């Protein structure tokens, strides 16, 4: 393993190999030079939320210091600035997802709200008694529960695409589930619990042939590779700002324009109307129709800054770097006694889920934390995945562009200590 020196924030080292220099990226993230329990922070929980680069932090600060005003209302300069910046962020999200036009981008609080919006609006207008909604066995609770709720309300049936022991969806079984009753297929692009990357293009094509809408939970995938909604040809794609280096409480739904025009509104309130009388309200066109109330203005704006930040790095090189880290970590962690890796999909990215003998993941997490190593332990809001693999919880290390081989070394050293304590 080649030793690399930690670079102090502000100082820049020359790029080393493969066209990507993680140390240089690290310098942009102030939190990565802090310590936990007196040890340098080793942040391996980016699948839960990513850390924020200085540009994003400063954008939030600048907005509140010099631009804060409500949007789409005031005729004064400050409100015009705020509105312009908010709408500019929409353009950035459009470009990030390669949507056709910015009317197809609805700002929401995050992927969870986005999926609830889709389930609610599609459910109320298109799902009837006896219809079917298809999801997969590896969904996050936020892509299970909203559909379960709407199916119960509408008298529809929820069907589940099974997976194999590697944590890959069974596409043959998926095809069999599709039929004339299928109204919606909603699947995760990349599993947060297993790291599996699903073939959404192929799955979308099959859903379309069956006449169903195709929805993608892109919470995990957006940070790890370019997304092209036109190439996938999906109807909806949902992302969270905080998983792509932006602030929490912001996210976006891409929705095909003709669908957004046809669907009923999500919530009622200010900003989503054209005219209101006590007899009748007419609605604004999309995306305003789906954005009732004052949104997280600075969240959307700084999400745009995070997208700018991503545009400034070589994303293909980032993907290679993260794949290297995953391979390295998988090899090193699997060679420890008693380790069982959960999820071995051939198409996998940035997530290493495992259990360590009969040591409970929470004990592992507490011990790792004492070494400054932050990992997620638990069911990862994917209890059906845990049930499938017969474990109550797993330890999950997840990687982002700012992680290094030294982080993997620290993880392995700390795991060796766990083994020592529990031997």
Catalytically active residues are 381
* Residue 144 binding other proteins, by CB under 8 A: no
Residues 18-47 that bind other proteins (CB under 8 A): 37
d(CA 324, CA 322): 5
Task: Dump strand ranges (E) for 17-174.
Answer: 35-36, 39-40, 42-43, 105-108, 132-136, 157-161
d(CA 168, CA 165): 7
How far apart are CB 288 and other proteins at their closest, in Å? 38
* Residue 367 binding other proteins, by CB under 8 A: yes
* Residue 389 binding other proteins, by CB under 8 A: no
Question: Which of 179, 269, 338, 392: binder of other proteins (CB under 8 A)?
Answer: 392
How far apart are CB 37 and other proteins at their closest, in Å? 8
* Residue 410 binding other proteins, by CB under 8 A: no
Question: Which of 200, 206, 393, 397: binder of other proteins (CB under 8 A)?
Answer: 393
d(CA 398, CA 202): 26
Question: Which of 359, 382, 401, 415: binder of other proteins (CB under 8 A)?
Answer: 359
Sign, CA torsion 237/243/246/247: positive
CB nearer to other proteins: pick between 314 and 363? 363
- The residue range among 166-174, 333-341, 354-362, 400-408 that interacts with other proteins, by the rule CB under 8 A, is 354-362
* Residue 370 binding other proteins, by CB under 8 A: yes
Question: Which of 363, 399, 400, 405: binder of other proteins (CB under 8 A)?
Answer: 363
d(CA 234, CA 237): 7
> 34 to each of 26, 31, 202, 367, how far by Cα in Å?
12, 5, 43, 19
CB nearer to other proteins: pick between 123 and 361? 361
Helix axes 297-311, 77-97, angle to 10 degrees: 50
Sign, CA torsion 325/328/331/336: negative
User: Which 3 state secondary structure label does DSSP give 346?
Assistant: coil
Nearest by Cα to 123 from 159, 91, 98, 155: 155
Q: The tokens of 57 are what?
A: 């932090």
CB nearer to other proteins: pick between 137 and 405? 137
- The residue range among 260-268, 308-316, 338-346, 357-365 that interacts with other proteins, by the rule CB under 8 A, is 357-365
CB nearer to other proteins: pick between 119 and 367? 367
* Residue 355 binding other proteins, by CB under 8 A: no
Q: The tokens of 91 are what?
A: 């353009």
- The residue range among 125-133, 261-269, 349-357, 376-384 that interacts with other proteins, by the rule CB under 8 A, is 376-384
CB nearer to other proteins: pick between 52 and 396? 396
CB nearer to other proteins: pick between 302 and 410? 410
* Residue 283 binding other proteins, by CB under 8 A: no
* Residue 386 binding other proteins, by CB under 8 A: yes
Q: The tokens of 391 are what?
A: 């474990």
Contact letters for other proteins, residues 74-103 (x by CB under 8 A) = ------------------------------
- Residue-by-residue DSSP string for 20-36: --HHHHHTT-GGGG-EE
How far apart are CB 379 and other proteins at their closest, in Å? 6
Give the H/E segment covering residue 372. none
Alpha carbons within 13 angstroms on the beta-carbon side of residue 25 total: 22
Give the H/E segment covering residue 121. helix 111-126
- The residue range among 89-97, 129-137, 276-284, 385-393 that interacts with other proteins, by the rule CB under 8 A, is 385-393
Contact residues for other proteins (CB under 8 A)? 37, 359-363, 366-367, 370, 377-379, 383, 386, 392-393, 421-422
């Amino acid at each position: 393993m080649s030793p690399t020196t930690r670079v102090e924030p502000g100082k820049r080292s020359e790029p080393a190999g493969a066209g990507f220099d993680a140390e240089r990226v690290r310098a942009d993230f102030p939190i990565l030079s802090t310590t936990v329990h007196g040890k340098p922070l080793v942040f391996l929980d980016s699948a839960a939320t990513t850390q924020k680069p200085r540009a994003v932090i400063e954008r939030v600060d600048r907005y509140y210091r010099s631009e804060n005003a409500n949007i789409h209302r005031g005729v004064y300069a400050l409100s015009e600035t705020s509105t312009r910046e908010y709408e500019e962020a929409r353009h950035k999200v459009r470009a990030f997802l390669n949507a056709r036009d910015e009317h197809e981008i609805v700002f929401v609080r995050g992927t969870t709200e986005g999926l609830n919006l889709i389930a609610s609006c599609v459910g109320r207008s298109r799902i009837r008694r006896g219809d079917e909604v298809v999801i997969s066995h590896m969904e996050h609770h936020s892509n299970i529960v909203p559909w379960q709720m709407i199916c119960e309300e509408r008298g529809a049936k929820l069907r589940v695409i099974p997976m194999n022991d590697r944590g890959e969806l069974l596409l043959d079984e998926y095809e069999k589930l599709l039929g004339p009753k299928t109204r919606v297929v909603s699947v995760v692009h990349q599993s947060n619990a297993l790291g599996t990357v699903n073939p959404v293009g192929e799955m979308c094509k099959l859903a379309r042939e069956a006449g169903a809408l195709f929805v993608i939970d892109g919470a995990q995938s957006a940070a790890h590779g370019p997304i092209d909604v036109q190439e996938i040809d999906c109807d909806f794609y949902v992302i969270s700002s905080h998983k792509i280096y932006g602030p929490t409480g912001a996210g976006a739904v891409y929705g095909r324009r003709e669908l957004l025009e046809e669907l009923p509104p999500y919530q009622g309130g200010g900003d989503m109307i054209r005219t209101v009388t006590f007899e009748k309200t007419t609605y604004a066109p999309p995306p305003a129709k789906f954005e009732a109330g004052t949104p997280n203005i600075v969240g959307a704006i700084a999400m745009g800054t995070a997208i700018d930040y991503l545009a400034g790095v070589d994303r293909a090189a980032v993907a290679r770097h993260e794949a290297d880290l995953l391979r390295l970590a998988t090899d090193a962690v699997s060679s420890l006694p008693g380790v069982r890796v959960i999820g071995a999909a051939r198409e996998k990215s940035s997530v290493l889920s495992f259990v360590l003998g009969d040591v409970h993941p929470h004990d592992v997490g507490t011990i790792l934390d004492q070494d400054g190593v932050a990992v997620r332990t638990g069911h990862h809001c994917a209890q059906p995945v845990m049930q499938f693999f017969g474990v109550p919880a797993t330890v999950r290390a997840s990687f982002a562009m700012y992680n290094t081989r030294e982080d993997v070394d620290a993880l392995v050293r700390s795991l060796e200590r766990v083994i020592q304590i529990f031997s």
